[in-house]
């Protein structure tokens, strides 16, 4: 028996082609290429075998649609996106580096310029989100949608081949992911540019009827339905990238918002972008812009948009809502036993004081983490030598990710303190002052880590050249 091995360019996994002893490498390559084009390799795991006897036939239209979606990396079903990206286990070891890249380069405030940031009018114009999404509140999701719509710059009733459909510029793969058009539409009708998006979507045959959307006009005429699709894509996208190894639970709200906008566009592209893998220049620029502007939008909604516009009501502490004497008399009549001690309803600390204490405790813990990071930095700077510079770079890269996490934690505490001030003006002032002080210290630590990294990388470069 002849066995030939080929690397799947979609998944990076190795596939074996088995055949008769007379099977040549060229014939095996033809079989492999046929299966790749037909889509029958989608979903295979490392070690799976494609038999020449059973798999040589070209076809499998359903798999072809799935593969085309996976190769394009532009949407499609969530399952297809997961299949076209390395498995979760392959990405576990990359979690730290992915987090560091996201928080220290792509999504760190000031790391990338804001292209077209939202303003008050943009936020007010965007309809409020229906529900929170994985760590993002309703105002956060609303801000993300506002940013995504502003970057497209197209009206809800418009469609174009360049920008896509409606206010979010939805493409065929996104519509497939949301279940609005039939699976395989993009692969069979838009593959290699034989048709245009506008022509394909004008056909009533491609629509599934989900949510009452039976044709192009029914979607272009409904802003709420477009908003709902965008929210669904954001939620699906975040679920998928989390499964694939991106530590969404460690990201700040701003970073998570930017990531959600990208994941709504394409899960495979977002994974490549998050891992720093090469992408076409236009896609790289599009994802950078969507992420940075989305992160800006979340911060803008938190610090610049008032509660009335967010459609949020801040609950105020309730006082004197019970007639204590009536309740005491009733409880005595029910219990009726002198051996049972009476309840003591002494003065309780106000709600805001409990929140302040909790925040102070969190800040103290985060500050301790910050101190540990700084000590480790000092130790590296003391002990590193030219021969251990590469190891030092690895340690400092990890410290950079950890200090970014500390920074995002302080940002969350700042949000909570500002909310506290809305409930009880002035109650969060001391915490805000402490947080600003910690922000300055974190910035100093980050700068020292980055400068040390630059020196070590220069030292490694000199050693390699020599």
All residue ranges of the chain with pLDDT < 50 are 37-39, 42-43, 47-94, 314, 347-349
Question: In terms of DSSP H, where are the helices of 212-315?
Answer: 216-220, 223-243, 253-265, 267-274, 281-304, 307-310
What does the block give as tokens for 390?
């590469």
Q: What is the pLDDT of residues 15-71, one digit of tens each?
A: 777 766 666 666 666 666 655 544 455 445 554 444 433 333 333 333 333 333 333
Provide the pLDDT for residue 20: 62
What does the block give as tokens for 81?
């996106």
Provide the pLDDT for residue 221: 93
pTM score above 0.75: no
Q: What residue ranges do the domains of the chain occupy?
A: 2-59, 78-310, 351-465
What does the block give as tokens for 204?
């009533």
Provide the pLDDT for residue 111: 63
Provide the pLDDT for residue 91: 35
CA triple 259-265-268, angle to 5 deg = 80
Q: What is the pLDDT of residues 126-159, one digit of tens each?
A: 988 888 888 898 899 999 999 999 999 999 999 9
Would you state the CATH architecture of domain 351-465? Up-down Bundle (1.20)
Provide the pLDDT for residue 74: 40
Which residues touch 408 (CB under 8 Å, ≥6 apart)? 103, 250, 251, 252, 255
Provide the pLDDT for residue 336: 66
Which of 201, 195, 172, 194 is closest to 184 using CA atoms?
A: 172
Q: What is the pLDDT of residues 206-251, one digit of tens each?
A: 999 998 999 999 999 999 999 999 999 999 999 999 888 888 887 8
Provide the pLDDT for residue 282: 92
Chain-centre distance for alpha carbon 45: 26
């Amino acid at each position: 028996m002849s066995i030939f091995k080929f690397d799947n360019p979609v998944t990076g996994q190795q596939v074996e082609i088995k055949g008769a002893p007379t099977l040549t490498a060229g014939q095996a390559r033809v079989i492999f290429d046929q299966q790749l084009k037909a889509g029958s390799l989608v979903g295979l795991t490392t070690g799976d075998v494609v038999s020449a006897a059973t798999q040589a036939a070209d076809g499998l239209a359903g798999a072809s649609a799935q593969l085309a979606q996976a190769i394009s990396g532009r949407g499609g079903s969530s399952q297809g996106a997961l299949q076209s990206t390395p498995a979760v286990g392959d990405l576990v070891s990359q979690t730290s580096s992915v987090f560091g890249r996201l928080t220290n380069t792509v999504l760190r405030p000031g790391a990338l310029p804001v292209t077209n940031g939202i303003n008050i009018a943009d936020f007010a114009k965007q309809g409020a989100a229906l529900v929170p999404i994985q760590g993002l509140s309703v105002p956060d999701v609303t801000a993300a949608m506002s940013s995504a719509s502003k970057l497209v710059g197209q009206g809800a009733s418009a469609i174009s081949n360049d920008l896509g459909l409606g206010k979010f510029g939805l493409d065929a793969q996104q519509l497939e992911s949301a279940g609005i058009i039939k699976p395989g539409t993009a692969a069979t009708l838009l593959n290699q540019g034989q048709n245009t998006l506008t022509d394909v979507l004008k056909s009533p045959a491609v629509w599934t009827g989900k949510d009452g959307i039976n044709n192009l006009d029914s979607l272009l005429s409904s802003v709420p339905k477009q908003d709902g699709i965008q929210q669904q894509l954001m939620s699906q996208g975040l679920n998928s990238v989390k499964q694939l190894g991106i530590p969404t639970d460690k990201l700040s709200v701003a970073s998570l918002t930017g990531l959600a906008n990208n994941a709504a566009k394409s899960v495979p592209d977002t994974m490549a972008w998050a891992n720093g893998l090469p992408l076409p220049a236009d896609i790289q620029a599009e994802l950078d812009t969507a992420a940075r502007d989305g992160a800006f939008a979340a911060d803008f909604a938190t610090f610049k948009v008032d509660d009335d516009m967010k459609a949020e009501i801040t609950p105020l502490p309730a006082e004197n809502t019970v007639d204590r004497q009536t309740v005491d008399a009733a409880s005595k009549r029910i219990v009726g036993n002198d051996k049972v001690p009476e309840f003591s309803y002494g003065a309780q600390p106000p709600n805001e004081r409990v929140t302040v204490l909790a925040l102070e405790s969190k800040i103290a813990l985060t500050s301790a983490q910050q101190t540990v990071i700084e000590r480790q930095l000092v130790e590296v700077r003391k002990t590193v030598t030219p021969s251990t510079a590469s190891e030092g770079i690895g340690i400092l890269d990890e410290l950079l990710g950890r200090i970014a996490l500390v920074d995002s934690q302080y940002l969350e505490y700042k949000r909570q303190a500002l909310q506290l001030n809305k409930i009880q003006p002035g109650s969060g002032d001391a915490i805000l002052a402490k947080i600003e002080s910690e922000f300055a210290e974190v910035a100093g630590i980050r700068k020292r880590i980055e400068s040390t990294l630059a020196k070590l990388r220069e030292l490694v470069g000199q050693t390699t050249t020599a």
